[in-house]
Structure 1
Amino acid sequence: MAVNVARELATRAEHRVIYLTSQEIADKKLDKLSGTKVEIMIEPEPGIKVWERLGDNNYWVESGLLNGDLQVHEKAYLVFSEMQSIDSFRSDNQLLDQVLAAVKPDLIVTDSNIVYPAIARSGIPLIRIWITARLTGINDRLLPPHGSGLPIGCNPEVYDEFKRKIIKPFNAIWKPYNNYLVSMGCQPLPENVLFTIDDCLNIYAYPKEMDQLYDQIKPLPKNVIRVDHMLIESDFDGQQFKIPDKLRDKSGKLIYFAMGSICSSDRQNMIRLIKMFGKSQHRFIVSLGDRLDDYPLPDNVWGQPSLPQLSILPLVDLVITHCGINTVCETMYFGKPMICLPVYCDQYDHSQRIHESGFGIRLDVHKCTERQLLGSIDSLLADKVLAKKLKKISQRIQLY
């Protein structure tokens, strides 16, 4: 999302934009900035080391995060337990101090949902992009806790119970983090909150038809802006996809299955699900990830390790997904129903909002049976009222 914001600021608004990132991210994810006026500034040393570790697929496989026996709160506990070092924050703050002194920006845009003293003390206007939608920044006892996947409208005591289950590892992050901020001259944060929203403009992407479920309980503050997506025109450039020969002449609806890089690393469960697809009357395009190259796919299934998702989505009738925020926004952009198979953190929240909105069906990624999965697929594909509704939503979203 931040890359798209940088590109638009440089091309449409014609501002001078400097994008601070690590060499690893520049090598892997910044190709869409080539040919633009965005200046890429590489960190002199690895940035937030803890985040780099948490972005390693192998690390999460070994950590047990993909273990189907863990409960939602246990996965949240695991994630927070892996984020306890304050050293990386200190290191990054020192780097930001140097960068801000050298660049002297008029505006800072960040997708980091923590507070850096270098930014907080600079007096420079700040825009914060929330990377996992509304529950990232809005904390309220009447709303589901971030990462819980709990329904809207529960008794607040249900939400409190989830928070109690994860409080120990979260406190282990928050206490030294808050003490560090105070020692650097910043205001203390509210208990167990990683950043406040009232000192900046906040932006997040989430389809209106799902996000409005929250409005009934907690309307957005005036300094928080929701948009349906953060796709830009260049996202659609150069991506072409033709239905593979293996599937082109077969009967049945066309379904796209993508679980993201980390979740697709669960080879055993990916194979379990693909075997179920083989018993369906429909056709499946699968983003395989990097662990299924040697697995023979059923006759009605075709896949590759990586696929041009935005070129595939317009062609398919249904999407099966882990419900990462980008895939959710992109699927709603094209108006497709979803089978939601969340694995951890915010994926549970997005899946539950889709389920509650009637735009898809949430299943347990590890425990769903063949009958449940294939039955849910057939049910959504047969729902003409839903198809018409999603088409109308897609038309609305694509108007701008």
Structure 2
Amino acid sequence: MEQKTFALFPEAAYGPALNSVGIAQALTKMGHKVVFLSDPGFVEIYQGYGFEAHPVALSEPMPPEQMAKFWEDFINGHIPNFRKAPIDQIDNYVKECWEAIVDSAKWAQKDLPAVLDRIKPDVIAVDNVILFPAIKQYGVPWVRIISCSENEIEDPAIPPHLSGMSENDTEGHAAFRAKFEDVIAPIHADFNAFLAECGEDAYKIGEFFEASPYMNMMLYPQPLTYKRETPLDPARFQYLEGCVREDAAYEVPTFAANNDGPLLYVSFGSLGSGDTDLLKRLITLIGKTRYRALFNVGDYKDEYSDIPPNVIIESWYPQPSVIPQVDAVIHHGGNNSFTECLYFGRPAIIMPYVWDGHDNAMRVQETGYGFRSDRYEWSDEEMIAKIEACLTDTDMADRLAMISKHMQSCEGPLKAAKLLAGLVA
């Protein structure tokens, strides 16, 4: 097979970045060249996996440490909003995110044309929630990767993206859409003005990206998909059934207590780890139980003391190597954690705080693969009951075993690589 060059452009977040690494690994095994277009702060991540990466400014340039501090402060400043229902986050967290995302598209337009001319890709794959006009206009097939919940591709019959609502709550769907469109209107008008400057047509209110005419790849597992009014055309929309990368091996350490107890893994992602009060509350609770637990505390390890002997904390874990070895997972609903738990057949308690974590939490509960939990309004007894159900519910275990077998047989990264290669075959 003739070697082709594939440019992958994930959002500047660990979920999309690491999913794209899985796809890149599969393309490389097929003999192709993979190059990453990257927020400057993520260049070293792709290089760490052995890939070439070209920086594309998505905001005003600043040193990596300053950029990391900016996003840390942004998230931590919104911790009070994490207590709110998704509809009540629209006019604070969601609004500010969309302002930053629109700015990122404007900044990227300054760098992208020259970077693309330098790389000369045969195919470009974008995992983001917004259009980058330079990519659409470059003249080669471009692919949209949807690594968030599948309802990022809207349909009037399913819950709106970011709403965390039940699929049957049609009245709630309408209220969420109305508020979202009202709050987002000035930001959307600004984005449409930018599109006009780039020679692109305006999007309808609420839309910031379009489906690719070539291929759209959803990381979501198809057995959990919603029933749409207009089914997605499989010629243009394919489900990857997860996209789990190869990562470093992990050996579970010996615990000072409960060394034969059920093993839990607790992670709220790189940004959610700033919610140290919640993590400390869970550590204290699990310290009183028969379980063992591995806690991902991100960059805040120094803020913890008096760790119980049945708990181990670390700043980072190779998650795809950890989840297969545990009995249950408590996480924030990010799409990597969501799909990896299903991929490895592990029950999850999802405690969402923002974005599509709300959707994934509701979906995992409605389909019987785990539980949704309020992030703060729970009692110790309620949390223990959910953990015990994860460990003992045989019907749930059977469902998880079936979906794990299904997802692993689909080989998501390889499927994605074949779809991408097929565009230039």
Fold similarity call, TM over 0.5: yes
TM-score, normalized by length of structure 2?
A: 0.83
Which AA in structure 2 matches 1:226? Answer: Y
Residues 1:23 and 2:40 aligned together: yes
Aligned pairs for 1:222-301 within 5 A: 222=234, 223-232=236-245, 235-236=246-247, 238-247=248-257, 250-293=259-302, 294-301=304-311
- Deviation track 1:113-169 (CA, whole Å, cap 9, x = no partner) reads 212222223332111111203111x212221111110011222x3211012233344
Query: Could you say what the CA RMSD is over the residues aligned between the two structures, in angstroms?
Result: 2.4
Residues 1:58 and 2:73 aligned together: yes
The equivalent position to 2:154 in structure 1, one of 135, 139, 156, is: 139
Residues 1:128 and 2:144 aligned together: yes
Aligned to 1:215: 227
The 1:331–1:50 alpha-carbon spacing in structure 2 relative to 1, beyond 3 Å, is farther
Q: How many Å separate the matches in 1 of 2:123 and 2:46?
A: 23
Residues 1:40 and 2:53 aligned together: yes
Q: Which runs of 5+ in 1 are unaligned?
A: none
Kept in 2, the 8 Å contact 1:60–1:66? The answer is no
- Deviation track 1:341-386 (CA, whole Å, cap 9, x = no partner) reads 1111100101111001111111101111111101111122111222
Residues 1:2 and 2:20 aligned together: yes
Which AA in structure 2 matches 1:170? Answer: I
Kept in 2, the 8 Å contact 1:337–1:387? The answer is yes
Residues 1:354 and 2:364 aligned together: yes
Q: How many Å separate the matches in 1 of 2:68 and 2:53?
A: 22
Kept in 1, the 8 Å contact 2:159–2:167? The answer is yes
- Deviation track 1:294-337 (CA, whole Å, cap 9, x = no partner) reads 32122322222222222221221111111110011111111011
The 1:87–1:316 alpha-carbon spacing in structure 2 relative to 1, beyond 3 Å, is closer
Which AA in structure 2 matches 1:280? Answer: T
Residues 1:89 and 2:105 aligned together: yes
Q: What is the aligned residue count?
A: 384
Residues 1:186 and 2:195 aligned together: no
The 1:193–1:12 alpha-carbon spacing in structure 2 relative to 1, beyond 3 Å, is same
The 1:88–1:250 alpha-carbon spacing in structure 2 relative to 1, beyond 3 Å, is closer
Shift of 1:198: 4.9
The equivalent position to 2:325 in structure 1, one of 310, 315, 322, is: 315
Aligned to 2:420: none
* DSSP 3-state at the match of 2:256: helix
Residues 1:383 and 2:393 aligned together: yes
Kept in 1, the 8 Å contact 2:43–2:54? The answer is no
Q: Which runs of 5+ in 2 are unaligned?
A: 1-18, 412-425
Q: How many Å separate the matches in 1 of 2:380 and 2:404?
A: 30
The 1:387–1:193 alpha-carbon spacing in structure 2 relative to 1, beyond 3 Å, is same
Kept in 2, the 8 Å contact 1:84–1:172? The answer is no
